[in-house]
């Protein structure tokens, strides 16, 4: 996990531990649903976690912060998990903030800022991956990007072909890449399936996707679909079914965790809003007036609240509206999907798949290589894959 | 149209006239959408309207009332339509309120209450249908029930087989049927496709569905899915896709038109709430805590407002919520669907279909003979039918 | 406290203990606000609690249940408070359910149902009050009714004059009183200030208010104003200020604690809705269309959610709307007001006031003897009282 | 009226005409409420309207646009008013856009941009005011600024004293003033009471307020309080009454009329948000986290929708929320207040008042010279004034 001290990563680990001990059920995990029974997925209890983070911090504290704000979560279990969390904490390594923008660099002590060459950084990441695999006694490692959103990366000619990207790394062209590029490149080179759960578009650039296809490594992204966009992708097709014309779809998001703080910086926000914006036109076939705001409201902590106002035209030009208010815990919506993606990416690796995994489209706001944005059709793609996988393993 | 002076019927007629004159586009009509291009549907301009109503009233006034409350509707066209509406008004006949419950009977002058035998009433309706067909020079008539909701009809042994129903009619067993039963029976006997757009469950009882199957008449119902339930059937599957557990789904509806007034009576409301309630368990596979209120709020007139509060459980037992607020014009949401259903029922009749039309499930809150309640799957059933129909006519 | 095992009572005790130990601040307590500095109120740390409840139950468990569902509350302190809560639990006595309605009687084991005479029951309550005062070494005891809402009590001639009420008690006319009547009567007879925080209208009947006035005992009620009605009383005057006409004000409340369960019974709900309904007409000077629903939704536990839809008419007949959604924790909104009322009732007792306390109107949905329902004017009445009290004690 | 072709001005005129003819009642006009009976206000029927606008446009069209989007408004009357509206249209003069910012200048044909000196412009406005008074046969003219919001005006030393402002005008220092400055200055010089209904802060700068005080002219502003801020000023005191701590108050406004379009420009929006922001800290005594968005959503036309999310802390640190959704017609909320202000400013002029009119605070988002932001206290200031005025005229 890249960003292993963040609230999503902390919840991933705490959740897997709690599930392993029978403290909780698999609610919220897609792969714990009925259609996945009989699929050859790794057992959650057998997952081992590791990762890196550029911040100082405490995994126990991150978990505890998430839990304090959450209604309905039994807190007794936390004490039971603390030793495991503390042990994991000791195994985390420091990450890179190469070219991540001001907002993220501001989280890191001055001394930690990079002075190494790009090639050295890649090599360092690869070494950590090998070390983790060895110490856990496994050859199957899945890398998931859970770090804060980077600013959008300006397109560069070196982003298209693997050999050009490699030349840029060797030439130490730091401005052509971001930290997320280095991680993704290192993961693919090590043969590790890679998931970009963030909107950072420096990670799965075409060159890396091609490299993954060539090297037989499955990869997928971008940007986990956890809240407002999930609802959007379920609701927007309804207007199409009824031939109602969406005039305006305005979305306002407020949240208060670290992700919210980083997104408060206009550069980082730009990347996020870009992945959210594509969904509507993709589903409706036209682009209604639409704007998405994301504001940092510290008192909300991990609770994300979204208000969407949808103005639409019906018969005889009548104007009507649908509004929705979504109130969810960001980390608790994201974490089970991360566990799902890890299991499914691991399965894909074992099945010898390579390059993009379009059957995982339903998990992402901007699924790479997939133009289908309707939730139910995306979900059907996943169910079809599951049937095929079951059939071929039978 | 049964209930031809009501706001839905008035909007159906005004809408068809306006569409025929190019005053409006087909927004809100499913059959005007892209997938229906090339399907052999009757042109809206060629439709002729007729019907009955138990109330005194004015079609022009009903249309005008609908338009006054609606934002976005061009009102200039109304003046242009008035002569046609007035002409239609003159052709309407009086209907029956046989056993419709207090709330509906209260709308009718005392003198109009029935004293004829059931058989006479059926014969009278059949005569009107033949008269309408002759005067319009057509043999194809579709009957649509748009009357106010009747109280639920207690099941009776005569409801199962056509011959038993006929015996009950001959025996004048008035308590075993409602007005809607008589209309539906008469329509099928005349070979007219029949649509029950209301929740009244006296209309398409098993005996009448069987009769329709035997006589080669297509029929479908119950209860047009126009608002809150439409959203529900689009949103509820999302929780399934993500393995999130719905704990409670509470719905509050307020509206102010005549339908609202009739639904204010507990007997009539019971029928409505019954059709709404089935959707959730059908989609989720379990029944969360759920209640649906429908309240009459006169000042809202035709504007229906619904607030739904959905409480759900996610990962680690965290409780979150989704709320939506739907603000739509009841008649303007329903009327285009009525035009769609008339066109599609007419097509089915010409294609020689008989009995229930499951491909129309997406139009109904409680689609007869269909257990699929997910909107998108229901819509796919319609699209598949359209493809088959196009293929067979090519 | 009558209803001492309920979630409000549990929160009152836990809150006072936590405040006394400096674990929390006085946020949410009116009497901890600036205008009350310098007023001769009893220190919260010096309060001692006792009470009765008809249910079996655990105070620690009630507190714990409240805390589990609440976001933002530090839970660490709870462990620290447990011994005190347990000790208090041991001192609670059994209460009476005399004529409380089916819903409340259903909470009690059969054996606990009353067979004593009314006079014996009153005497038993008085004995408990004296015992509590002695064992705590105080002569100042305030009685607060926090029990579940009783069904409305039908007016009876014996409700007007103290001597007639006494005669009814002696004559053992059980149907003329409810449990709340017995408690209130006993409290006043013992000279204890009495607060009816519930909507139960059997408590402060005219005979008891007169008795209080005669005996120099201050009393006040009914029904703590904690949520939707609080907002209503702040918002409704706005429409008056702008000469906007409220057409409809529809309120939907859902909650899941024991109060919600008891209110699920139509008899008990009737009392609640009655006290809510008076506010609007009192403020606006006319009665708009208005209905208030209260539904029991178990998954919400202590979280009360209200949706209010306000339809109003402005200039040129334009219809507009204001909606609000209130999401609060029932017990945590009520408990600090109970502490406020206890302190203010104690002060009134020491100041020699008797009968109703109109300056406490802002705390109640249906303030006895006060026709002012606007929140800000009610609050000003309290501030004026505070100034007078400070002046007279200086 | 400055901005006489805008939707507010059009509604002011249409409303006054309709009221004069008895087509509508005075709902929404404060001065038509009960407390104003017996106050010596000018009869609405006797008001005569005039004004200027920098745009080309049609008053009938503006009125018609407002009416098309509004539910509940009888449209029949419009035809009756058209001749009067057209006659008024002919009497309008062209205004100035001096230094109004890009967004407003963009509304005006190139040729209309100013080339005259500041002194000439002021003189031209004064001439128009005298001309209007003469042609209507009155000496009492009230000037109201209803033009689009200008960008904030940078403070300049010449803004403080009348003589320095005059020097700046003579020196033709165009950057030190805006169009609104010239209008306000001209109005005061002509002895006309002046109302700034907009947030433009170039209008009532200290120098002009002093000039008004010296010359015996009543003036007041800024920014009519019509919607979200109105609700805010009614609701925020509630949190104070209950000693609840507001953590965050986030406001999102969407609207689609010309005002919305102009506010879409960041410069102009800055002025608006500034006047909205002051209210909260003024009422609560501390500044919670707060942000106000105003977005232009064309499909909404004159309908303004606001969602406010208020996060607050109660007893024991529990976090709760209140949300409200306001859906109103911008022009129909503003227009009656303009009529109120004209009547009250005229009264003040006749009563010999001069300088600021603090009793009108309740009408403004940022009332000049008044620190009281609570709606009910502001309203009480108005009622007290009315009583004094009645007493002195009696």
CB pairs under 8 A between A and D: 55
Q: Are residues C339 and D353 in contact, defined by beta-carbon separation less than 8 angstroms?
A: no
Burial class (CB in 10 A: 0-12, 13-18, 19+), C112: middle
* pLDDT, mean over chain D: 90
| Residue whose token pair is 């296809």 | A213
Nearest Cα of chain A lies from the Cα of D247 at a distance, in angstroms, of 6
State the DSSP H helix or E strand holding residue B218, giving kind and residue range, or none if neither: strand B218-221
By the CB < 8 Å criterion, does A68 face chain C? yes
Cβ–Cβ of D72/B70 closer than 8 Å? no
Indicate the Cα dihedral angle A164, A165, A169, A175, nearest 10°.
Answer: 110
Chain A, residues 13-52, CB within 8 A of chain B, namely 14-15, 18, 24, 26-30, 32-33
Contact A305/A327 with Cβ under 8 angstroms?
yes
Residue D319: list chain A partners with CB under 8 A: 69, 299
Strands B143-145 and B303-313: unpaired
Query: Within a 10 A sphere around the Cβ of C139, how many other Cβ atoms?
Result: 9
**Residue D124: CA atoms inside 13 Å, Cβ hemisphere, count?**
15
CA–CA gap between residue C252 and residue C235 (Å, rounded): 16
A325: Cα separation from own chain's centroid:
23
Q: For chain A, what is the mean pLDDT?
A: 90
What residue of A is the nearest CA neighbor of D320? A300
| Cα B169 from Cα A62, distance rounded (Å) | 73
Q: Which of A295, A309, A319 sits opposite D291 (nearest CB)?
A: A295
| Minimum distance, in Å, between the CA of residue D101 and any CA atom of chain C | 32
Per-residue b or e along C21-53, where b marks 16 or more CB atoms closer than 10 Å to that residue's CB: eebbbbbbbbbbbebbeebebbebeebebbbbb
Q: Chain B closest CA to D233's CA: distance in Å?
A: 25
What is the pLDDT, as a whole number, of residue C231?
A: 96
What's the CA gap between D340 and D31, in Å, rounded?
A: 6
| Structure-model confidence comparison of residues C350 and D294, the more confident one | C350
CA A362/CA A370 separation, integer angstroms: 10
Q: Best interface-test mutation with A: which of C66, C70, C71 has the largest number of A CBs within 10 A?
A: C71
D254 touches chain A (CB under 8 A): yes
Cross-chain residue pair C243–D26, CB shorter than 8 Å:
yes
| Closest C-chain CA to B292 | C295
Specify the long-range contacts of residues C59-65, CB closer than 8 Å, at least 24 apart.
C59/C4, C59/C5, C59/C10, C59/C13, C59/C85, C59/C86, C59/C88, C59/C89, C59/C92, C60/C85, C60/C86, C60/C89, C62/C5, C62/C6, C62/C7, C62/C9, C62/C10, C63/C10, C63/C11, C63/C13, C63/C14, C65/C7, C65/C301, C65/C302
Q: Do C235 and D237 touch (CB under 8 A)?
A: no
Specify the pLDDT at position C133: 94
Q: Over chain B, what is the mean pLDDT?
A: 90
**If we measure between CA atoms, which residue out of D269, D255, D251, D263 comes closest to residue D307?**
D251
Q: Which of A307, A302, A303, A304 is nearest to A325 (CA)?
A: A307
Contact A330, A302 (CB under 8 A): yes
Q: List chain C residues with CB under 8 Å of A303.
A: 71
Q: What is the mean pLDDT of residues A239-267?
A: 87
Closest Cα to residue A116, out of A97, A133, A132, A88? A97
Q: What is the pLDDT of residue C80?
A: 80
Cβ-based neighbours of C220, under 8 Å, separated by 6 or more: C194, C195, C196, C204, C341, C345, C356, C357, C360, C363, C364, C367, C368
Non-local (6+) Cβ contacts of A249 within 8 A are A232, A236, A280, A288, A289, A290, A308, A309, A310, A311
pLDDT tens for residues D202-237?
999 999 999 999 999 999 999 999 989 999 999 999
Q: Is residue A309 scored above 60 in pLDDT? A: yes
DSSP, res D365: S
A169-223 pLDDT, tens digit each: 999 998 999 999 999 999 999 999 999 999 999 999 999 999 999 999 999 999 9
Residue A231 near chain B (CB below 8 Å)? yes
Write out pLDDT tens, residues B131-182: 999 999 988 999 999 998 898 999 999 999 999 999 999 999 989 999 999 9
Higher-confidence residue: D112 or C265? C265
Q: Which residues of D touch B303 (CB under 8 A)?
A: 71
Confidence of residue B111 (pLDDT cuts 50, 70, 90): low
- Test mutation, B11, B78, B243, chain A, max A CBs within 10 A: B243
Q: What is the pLDDT of residues A72-104, one digit of tens each?
A: 555 556 778 888 888 888 888 887 777 777 777
Residue of D nearest to B75 (CA): D68
* Whether residue A44 has pLDDT greater than 60: yes
Do the Cβ atoms of C385 and C31 come closer than 8 Å? no
Q: Is A246 on the interface with B (CB under 8 A)?
A: no
The pLDDT value recorded for residue D71 is 55
pLDDT at B70: 66
The predicted model gives D158-172 an average pLDDT of 96
Dump pLDDT digits (tens) for B85-102: 888 888 888 877 777 777
Chain B residues whose CB is inside 8 A of the A234 CB are: 234-235, 237-238, 241
Asked if B309 contacts B284 with a C-beta cutoff of 8 angstroms, the reply is no
Contacts of D321 in chain C (CB under 8 A): 325-328
pLDDT at C75: 56
Question: Whose CA is closest to A50, among A108, A130, A106?
Answer: A130
pLDDT digits (tens, 9 = 90+) for B279-295: 899 999 999 999 888 89
The nearest alpha carbon in chain D to C332 belongs to D315
Pairing of strands A245-255, A303-313: antiparallel
B64 touches chain D (CB under 8 A): no
Using the Cβ of D273 and the Cβ atoms of chain A, whether some distance falls under 8 Å is answered with: no
pLDDT at C45: 92
Q: What distance, in Å, lies between the first and last C-alpha atoms of chain D?
A: 32
Q: Residue D30 pLDDT > 60, yes or no?
A: yes
Map residue C362 onto helix, strand or coil.
Answer: helix
pLDDT in tens, B254-264: 998 777 777 77
User: Contact B76/B13 with Cβ under 8 angstroms?
Assistant: no
Q: Which residues 308-327 of chain B have a CB within 8 Å of chain A?
A: 313-327
Give the pLDDT confidence score for residue A76 in this predicted structure: 59
Which of C304, C312, C318, C373 has the highest number of chain D CBs within 10 A, making it the mutation to test binding with D? Answer: C318
Tell whether the model's pLDDT for residue B108 goes beyond 80: no
Alpha-carbon Rg for chain B in angstroms: 21
CB C32 within 8 A of CB D243: yes
Name chain D contacts of A311, Cβ cutoff 8 Å.
297, 299-300
- What are the phi and psi torsion angles at A88 (to 5°)? -65, -40
Dist CA B114 CA B96 (whole Å) = 7
A64 CB near a chain C CB, below 8 Å? no
Token digits of residue C239: 């429409």
SS (H, E, C) A25-39: CCCCCHHHCHHHCCC
Q: Of the given ranges (B109-118, C129-138, C252-261, D184-193), which has the lowest mean pLDDT? A: B109-118
* Gap between the Cα atoms of A211 and A163, Å rounded: 9
CB contact under 8 A, D70 and B69: no
- How many whole angstroms separate alpha carbon D320 and alpha carbon D314? 7
Place of tokens 């126009």: B226
The low-confidence residues of chain C, meaning pLDDT below 50, are none
C81 touches chain D (CB under 8 A): no
The answer to whether B80 touches B38, Cβ cutoff 8 Å, is no
Q: Identify how many contiguous H helices and E strands chain C contains and give both numbers.
A: 13, 10
0.95 surpassed by complex ipTM: no
pLDDT at A73: 54
- pLDDT range class, residue B346, cuts 50, 70, 90: very high
How many Å apart are CA C8 and CA C27, to the nearest integer?
A: 16
Two tokens, residue C162:
């103290």
Residue B272 contacts A where some CB pair is shorter than 8 Å: no
- Nearest CB to B30 within list A14, A242, A245: A242
Length of chain C: 394
Name the percent of chain D lying above pLDDT 70. 94
How confident is the model over A109-139, as pLDDT tens digits? 665 556 789 999 999 999 999 999 999 998 8
What spatial distance separates the first Cα and last Cα of chain A, rounded to whole Å? 32
**What are chain B's partners, defined as 3 or more CB pairs within 8 angstroms?**
A, C, D
Cβ burial D339-369 (10 Å sphere, 16+ → b, else e) = bbbbbbbbbbbeeebbbbbbbbbbbbbbbbe
Question: How many angstroms separate the CA of residue B102 from the nearest CA in chain A?
Answer: 33
Torsion of CA A187, A190, A191, A195, to 10 degrees: -10
Average pLDDT over residues B55-69: 79
pLDDT for B307 = 97
CA closest to C71 among chain A residues: A69
Q: How far apart are CA C392 and CA C38, in angstroms?
A: 12
C82 in B contact zone (CB under 8 Å): no
Average pLDDT of span D62-90: 73
- B238: which chain A residues are within 8 Å (Cβ-Cβ)? 230-231, 234, 375
Q: Residue B75: is its pLDDT beyond 60? A: no
The span from the CA of C184 to the CA of C208, in Å, is 7
């Amino acid at each position: 996990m890249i960003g292993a001290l963040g609230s999503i990563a902390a919840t991933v680990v705490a959740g897997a531990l709690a599930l392993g001990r029978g403290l909780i059920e698999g609610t919220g995990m897609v792969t714990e649903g009925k259609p996945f029974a009989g699929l050859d997925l790794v057992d959650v209890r057998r997952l081992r976690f590791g990762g890196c983070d550029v911040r100082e911090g405490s995994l126990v504290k991150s978990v505890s912060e998430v839990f304090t704000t959450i209604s309905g979560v039994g807190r007794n279990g936390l004490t039971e998990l603390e030793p495991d969390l503390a042990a994991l904490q000791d195994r985390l390594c420091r990450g890179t903030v190469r070219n991540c923008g001001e907002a993220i660099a501001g989280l890191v002590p001055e001394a930690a800022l990079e002075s190494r060459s790009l090639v050295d950084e890649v090599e360092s990441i690869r070494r950590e991956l090998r070390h983790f695999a060895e110490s856990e006694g496994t050859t199957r490692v899945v890398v998931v990007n859970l770090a804060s959103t980077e600013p959008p990366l300006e397109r560069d000619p070196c982003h298209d072909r693997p050999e050009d990207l490699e030349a840029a790394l060797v030439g130490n062209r730091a401005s052509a890449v971001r930290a997320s590029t280095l991680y993704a490149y290192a993961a693919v080179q090590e043969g590790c399936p890679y998931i970009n759960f963030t909107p950072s578009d420096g990670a799965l650039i075409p060159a890396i996707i091609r490299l993954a296809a060539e090297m037989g490594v499955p990869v997928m992204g971008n940007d986990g679909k956890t809240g407002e966009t999930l609802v959007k992708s379920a609701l927007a097709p309804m207007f199409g079914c009824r031939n109602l014309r969406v005039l305006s779809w305005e979305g306002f998001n407020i949240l208060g965790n670290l992700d919210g703080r980083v997104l408060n910086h206009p550069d980082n926000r730009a990347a996020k809003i870009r992945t959210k914006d594509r969904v509507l036109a993709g589903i409706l076939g036209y682009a209604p007036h639409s704007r998405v705001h994301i504001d940092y409201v510290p008192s909300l902590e991990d609770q994300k609240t979204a208000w969407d106002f949808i103005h639409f035209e019906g018969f005889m030009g009548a104007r009507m509206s649908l509004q929705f208010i979504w109130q969810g815990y960001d980390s608790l919506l994201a974490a089970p999907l991360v566990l799902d993606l890890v299991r499914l990416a691991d399965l894909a690796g074992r099945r010898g798949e390579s390059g993009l995994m379009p059957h995982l489209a339903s998990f992402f706001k901007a699924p790479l290589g997939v133009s289908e944005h309707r939730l139910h059709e995306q979900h059907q793609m996943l169910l079809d894959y599951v049937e095929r996988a079951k059939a071929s393993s039978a």
